């Protein structure tokens, strides 16, 4: 096992915010703010985290818990603790190892990884790099002609499930990206780029690794017929031309025989529609506050969705998870597991694969410590009796 870099050792990095600070020091502002930022005024981004603070614990005292069983089962897959790594686009800009490094760290930790369509690494390489389950997150970028071959490649490579993101009819208005010149830095002329170059030159270590990695990568999993892999710069325009509709499930099922997960559900109505369409699971998600601002925080919506589902399919949740205690709260409310995005991406931006490993170590230790302090010996034993939930969170 490789040595943990000194900067990531327990004496220095004890929580996810420490990894965030390291990532902020290493990454250019344009890249860090892409990872960190949300849509519009970032109201939902902030409320996602605050919602976890609104749920409080009800521990059982004086109960000896010498060992905790953190294992759970999601989509028929056994994982070591109830957290999977969410799809994070543009990961290769954060670190050359990108999606391969994150998937490898997830597998080594005994959990799963979900690969974004907007990946700088081939899906076959990501799957081969992990010893754990890997799922493929689907955008219909490039239309059916580009999506069908990618789904078939994922099936042939042994991906475990297809995760369809449904909340991207257009890309959210992420104001930080405009202020920082993301578009100009990716695709502008040299003259257009001049006002924004200082932030890259201020991070020479990142800049050197970026050039060694070949600069702006193409998207090898979005292959446009007669054109080849899509340039990374074309993503936002392509999203608005390729929005998912429920009717698309008909042809997707003909290509993908495995489990299908719908990610982006925020109402009981859409949860029931997902069940009617025969999906295996749903993810209660507002895209980390990056799409429509001023929607409810995902955790607050969870009780409504669970009531609508009534145990018929699995329900996961993402958005705002920064501590193991957040994971425990979500499971107490009824989620099968959570997806973590920024929490591990900070680690990736800080130090590549070892940073992701450290993020998972922190979260897993947090979960185990929280269970022991609650007087609960296993994830399976958690329920709503261990938490207080705000009375105004709707359940129907």
Q: What is the pLDDT of residues 46-62, one digit of tens each?
A: 999 999 999 999 999 99
Which neighbouring-strand residues pair with 114? 135
d(CA 343, CA 244): 27
274 closest CA partner among 313, 235, 310, 300? 313
Q: Which residue has the tokens 């009981």?
A: 268
User: Residue 214 domain-assigned?
Assistant: no
| pTM recorded for the entire structure | 0.95
The pLDDT of 130-136, averaged and rounded, is: 97
Quote the strand ranges of the chain, DSSP E.
56-57, 72-74, 77-79, 83-85, 113-115, 134-138, 162-165, 218-224, 228-231, 260-265, 281-284, 314-318, 337-340, 387-388
Residues contacting 224, CB < 8 A, separation 6+: 142, 145, 146, 230
Q: CB-side exposure of 379: number of CA atoms within 13 Å?
A: 27
Question: Residue 1: its pLDDT value, please?
Answer: 43
HEC per residue, 260-319: EEEEEECCHHHHHHHHHCCCCEEEECCHHHCCCCCCCCHHHHHHHHHHHHCCCCEEEEEC
Could you tell me the pLDDT band of residue 4, with boundaries at 50, 70 and 90? Answer: low
Mean pLDDT is lowest, of 2-16, 80-94, 259-273, 297-311, for 2-16
Structural domain containing residue 317: 6-26+37-173+236-387
The pLDDT of 89-102, averaged and rounded, is: 96
pLDDT for residue 181 is more than 90: no
Radius of gyration of the chain from its Cα atoms, rounded to whole angstroms:
20
Q: What is the CATH number of the domain that holds 95?
A: 3.20.20.70
Could you tell me the pLDDT band of residue 231, with boundaries at 50, 70 and 90? Answer: confident
Could you tell me the pLDDT band of residue 188, with boundaries at 50, 70 and 90? Answer: low
Mean pLDDT is lowest, of 44-48, 185-189, 226-230, 303-307, for 185-189
pLDDT for residue 189 is more than 90: no
Residue 277 to residues 18, 97, 227, 253, 336, Cα–Cα distance (Å): 42, 37, 34, 11, 20
User: Residue 140 domain-assigned?
Assistant: yes
Quote the strand ranges of 66-111, DSSP E.
72-74, 77-79, 83-85
Number of domains in the chain: 1
pLDDT for residue 2 is more than 60: no
Q: Render pLDDT for 66-79 as a digit per residue (tens, 0 to 9).
A: 999 999 999 999 99
| H or E element that contains 204 | helix 204-212
User: Residue 210 domain-assigned?
Assistant: no
Mean pLDDT is lowest, of 73-77, 99-103, 178-182, for 178-182
Percent over 90 (pLDDT), the chain = 84
The pLDDT of 24-42, averaged and rounded, is: 96
Give the active site residues: 287
User: Residue 243 domain-assigned?
Assistant: yes
User: Residue 55 domain-assigned?
Assistant: yes
User: Residue 193 domain-assigned?
Assistant: no
d(CA 347, CA 350): 5
The pLDDT of 218-228, averaged and rounded, is: 93
User: Residue 201 domain-assigned?
Assistant: no
User: Residue 93 domain-assigned?
Assistant: yes
């Amino acid at each position: 096992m490789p040595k943990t870099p000194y900067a990531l050792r327990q004496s220095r990095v004890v929580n996810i915010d420490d990894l965030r600070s390291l990532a902020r020091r290493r990454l250019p502002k344009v890249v860090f703010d892409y990872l960190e930022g949300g849509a519009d005024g970032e109201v939902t981004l902030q409320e996602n985290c605050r919602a976890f603070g609104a749920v409080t614990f009800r521990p059982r005292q004086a109960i000896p818990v010498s060992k905790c069983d953190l294992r759970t089962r999601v989509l028929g897959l056994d994982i070591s603790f109830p957290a999977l790594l969410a799809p994070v686009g543009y990961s290769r800009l954060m670190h050359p190892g990108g999606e391969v490094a994150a998937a490898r760290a997830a597998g080594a930790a005994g959990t799963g990884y979900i690969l974004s369509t907007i990946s700088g690494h081939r899906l076959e390489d990501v799957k081969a790099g992990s010893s754990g389950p890997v799922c493929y997150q689907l955008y219909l970028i490039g239309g059916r002609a580009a999506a069908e071959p990618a789904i078939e490649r994922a099936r042939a490579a042994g991906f475990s499930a297809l995760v369809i993101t449904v909340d991207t009819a257009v890309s959210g208005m992420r104001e930080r990206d405009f202020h920082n010149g993301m578009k100009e830095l990716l695709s502008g002329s040299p003259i257009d780029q001049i006002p924004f170059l200082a932030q890259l030159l201020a991070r020479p270590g990142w800049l050197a690794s970026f050039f060694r990695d070949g600069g702006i990568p193409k998207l090898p999993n979005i292959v446009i017929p007669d054109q080849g892999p899509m340039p990374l710069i074309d993503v936002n325009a392509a999203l608005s031309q390729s929005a998912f509709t429920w009717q698309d499930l008909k042809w997707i099922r003909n290509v993908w025989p495995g489990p299908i997960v719908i990610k982006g559900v925020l109402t009981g109505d859409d949860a029931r529609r997902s069940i009617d369409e025969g999906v295996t699971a749903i993810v209660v998600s507002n895209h980390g506050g990056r799409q429509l601002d001023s929607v409810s925080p995902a955790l607050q919506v969870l009780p409504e969705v669970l009531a609508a589902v009534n145990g018929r399919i699995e329900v996961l949740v993402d958005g705002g998870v920064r501590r193991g205690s957040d994971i425990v709260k979500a499971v107490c409310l009824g989620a099968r597991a959570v997806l973590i995005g920024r929490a591990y991406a900070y680690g990736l931006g800080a130090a590549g694969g070892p940073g992701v490993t450290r993020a998972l170590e922190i979260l897993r230790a947090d979960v185990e410590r929280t269970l022991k302090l609650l007087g609960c010996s296993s994830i399976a034993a958690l329920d709503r009796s261990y938490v207080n939930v705000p009375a105004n969170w709707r359940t129907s």
